[in-house]
Amino acid sequence: MDVELAEIRDFLAEHAPFDALPADVLDRLPARCTVSYARRGTVVLRPGDRGDRLYLVRSGAVDITDDGHLVDRVGAGGGFGMSALVEHVPTRYAATAREDTLLLELPQPDFDALVAEHPSVAVHFAATHHGRITAAIAQLQAPARGSAVLKTSVRDLLRVDPVSVAPSATVAEGARVMTEAGVSSLLVMDGAALLGIVTDRDLRRRVLAAGVAPDRPVQEVMTPDPVTLPAQALALEAMLEMTGRNIHHLPVVEDGRVLGLVTTTDLVRLERSNPVYVVADVQRQADVAGVVEQAARIPAVVGQLVREDASAADVGRVVAALTDALTRRLVVLAESALGPAPGRYAWAALGSAAREEQGLGGDQDHALVLADDADPSDPWWAALAERVTEGLEACGLPRCDGDVMATNPRWRLRVGGWRVQFGRWSDEPAPDAVLQAAIFYDMRAVHGDADLVEGLRAEVVPLGGRSDLLLAHLTAQAARMRPPIGFFRGFVLEDAGEHRDTLDLKRGIAAIVQLARVHALRARSTALGTGARLTAARDAGLIAAEAATDLTDALELLSYLRLRHQAAQVAAGEAPDNHLDPRRLGSLDRRHLRDAFAIVRAAQHGLSSRSPQVG
């Protein structure tokens, strides 16, 4: 049958999940569809309607609402009506044409057959977000972990354009070019064609030792047709080639074009970006300037970890460990300058540093917890705080806007003082104080007497967990941080239907952090990490196991996308931030983000409907 519905077929082929279907399945799909039209304002689906077809927006846009609240805005290529199809229940949502809309409809039996035969379609239209995002993370991160040489391609090692001369250049000219460029090897190129390579060692052995005149053409002393590597070769392969052939320079080619040169130094540097080396190097520094110098390596370490597909949770721990190392070294240097501390104390990290969930570009949050027999008015404490804070600032960690730092005398308290302070937050929390208080429930000793912090938390966490007022305020805070609904035509779609052109990942992350914090507090758990807090809340029966898993996955996804974004910014010489351009996100990332937002929103909804309310 010569049914030419090529336009419909091509439309389907451009959009997920149909784009992944085999050609013959795609060919047959248009003839299963009907086409309908909805004038602007027309209600296509009403809550309670039995769904009997999948709707795909061919042109125009449709708003999906739940009890009047915008849940999604679907543009060309998007679908709706699937939840009723998948769950075989009447639809919860209303679908209203926002613009004049042409709809392609796939009847239930054909939809069922497609889902049954093609798992990718089933996953795409899965009724719940649960599982889908887990699968997404598995796709993002290769499960196998290994050393950098196994993960990095030589393309990623290339730094500068290769230095080259024409074959007719003299040896003396070649040596001059190498000296000026500060390189130890020189490519001999005829236009784009690689003819040979000359290294420092060649100049020594084939020129000086052999008594060749410096005015001879460089091509007489070069190594012709040198060994090259394709750009996608792994650093490991470069290492094997170099050791096997006893060479130190390998040109990297792609499509017959020389991209650059990999040297043994590059490979050594690659292994040195292992965070273990960085921590060890930080500990060896004798002054603040040395510590600052080592801190400059952190963005590269994170970039390397992202390339190695480490999970965001792992990267968060590594960044925390590196920040801890900087802090410890700065404290130790301050102690040796100021003399011994006038009492037992702990330097405590607060917020994301305490939870070990840091990204790049975060600021400093810390406090001092002094033993009850120490004197808080001793100027030594302020001097320590100022030195360390200044050092961290020089290391690229800006001071906290809210002055939540050990330099602030309010946050240099004895254990007893902290107990009073936490008691105030539990007993008479003014709404404004809550935002400030929340961060102190994330507290971890970095240096000094860790028992002081642990003992304090063991007392004040159950105290906060018993305070309905504090829990209500924290709950309200967690429910206020609304992540966007999703994306529409390259914009971020917000609650009220407005469009934004940047996506602030921090809002989604903060919402999950706040949810986990209030759940953990209610469970009276002293767990610090968001994942551990959610597990504690699950074990205490406060949230469903599925919700705990979903939120952990959503946090991982958001944090991972943030890290990937920040690593790219660092690589491009920009300052890392939390703002993504939605137009530069792939359709898959957009889908996964939508799922993550939906998980957060569902958890916020569950929290606010079950918790004590602020009056």
Partner 1 sequence: MGLRGLLPGRRPRPTPGTALADLAEASAVDRGTPLAEVQLLALDLETTGLDPRRHEVLSVGHVPVVQGRIVLAQARHELVRPQGPVGESAVHHGLTDDRLAHGPDLALVLPGVLEALRTGGGEGVRPVRRVLLAHFAQIETAFLSAACRRLYGTEVPLQVVDTLTLAQRMLRVPTPELASGRLRLDACRRHYRLPRYRAHSALTDALACAELFLAQSAELAEQHGRPLRLGDVLAR
What is the chain's length? 615
Applying CB under 8 A, does 8 fall inside the site for partner 1?
yes
Query: Applying CB under 8 A, which part among 29-37, 64-72, 349-357, 557-565 lies near partner 1?
Result: 29-37
Residue 104: which H helix or E strand, with range?
A: strand 101-107
Which residue in 2, 24, 255, 373 binds partner 1 (CB under 8 A)?
Answer: 2
Query: Applying CB under 8 A, which part among 5-13, 362-370, 495-503, 504-512 lies near partner 1?
Result: 5-13
Applying CB under 8 A, does 34 fall inside the site for partner 1?
yes
- Shortest distance in whole angstroms from residue 31 CB to partner 1: 5
Applying CB under 8 A, does 5 fall inside the site for partner 1?
yes
Taking the least distance from each CB to partner 1, the nearer of 57 and 557 is: 57
**Tokens, residue 570:** 């660092």
Which residue in 3, 240, 286, 588 binds partner 1 (CB under 8 A)?
Answer: 3
Q: Angle at Cα 420 formed by Cα 419 and Cα 422, nearest 5°?
A: 65
Taking the least distance from each CB to partner 1, the nearer of 36 and 170 is: 36
On the question of a cis peptide bond just before residue 299, with omega within 30 degrees of 0, the verdict is: no
Q: How far is CA 335 from CA 162, 186, 338, in A?
A: 48, 50, 5
What residue type is assigned to position 150 of the chain? L
Applying CB under 8 A, does 15 fall inside the site for partner 1?
no
Q: Angle at Cα 575 formed by Cα 573 and Cα 577, nearest 5°?
A: 135
- Asked if 601 and 483 count as a contact pair (C-beta separation under 8 A), the reply is yes
- DSSP states of 115-160 as a string? HHH-HHHHHHT-SSSTTHHHHHHHHHS-S----HHHH-BGGGG--S
Query: Applying CB under 8 A, which part among 34-42, 164-172, 507-515, 558-566 lies near partner 1?
Result: 34-42
**Tokens, residue 152:** 């990095």
String marking each residue 73-112 x if it binds partner 1 according to CB under 8 A: ---x----------------------xx-x--x-------
- Asked if 507 and 599 count as a contact pair (C-beta separation under 8 A), the reply is no
Applying CB under 8 A, does 37 fall inside the site for partner 1?
yes
- Asked if 176 and 163 count as a contact pair (C-beta separation under 8 A), the reply is no
Query: Applying CB under 8 A, which part among 53-61, 225-233, 463-471, 517-525 lies near partner 1?
Result: 53-61
- Shortest distance in whole angstroms from residue 3 CB to partner 1: 5
- Asked if 105 and 34 count as a contact pair (C-beta separation under 8 A), the reply is yes
Applying CB under 8 A, does 60 fall inside the site for partner 1?
yes
- Shortest distance in whole angstroms from residue 34 CB to partner 1: 4
- Asked if 608 and 479 count as a contact pair (C-beta separation under 8 A), the reply is yes
CA distance 610 to 10: 48
For partner 1, the binding residues in 511-550 under the rule CB under 8 A are none
Query: Applying CB under 8 A, which part among 35-43, 243-251, 536-544, 559-567 lies near partner 1?
Result: 35-43
Query: Applying CB under 8 A, which part among 54-62, 320-328, 373-381, 497-505 lies near partner 1?
Result: 54-62
- Asked if 220 and 207 count as a contact pair (C-beta separation under 8 A), the reply is no
DSSP 162: P
Taking the least distance from each CB to partner 1, the nearer of 11 and 441 is: 11
Taking the least distance from each CB to partner 1, the nearer of 8 and 189 is: 8
Which residue in 42, 141, 170, 421 binds partner 1 (CB under 8 A)?
Answer: 42
- Shortest distance in whole angstroms from residue 112 CB to partner 1: 17
Q: Angle at Cα 65 formed by Cα 121 and Cα 603, nearest 5°?
A: 75
Residues in contact with partner 1 by CB under 8 A are 2-8, 11, 30-39, 42, 58-60, 76, 99-100, 102, 105
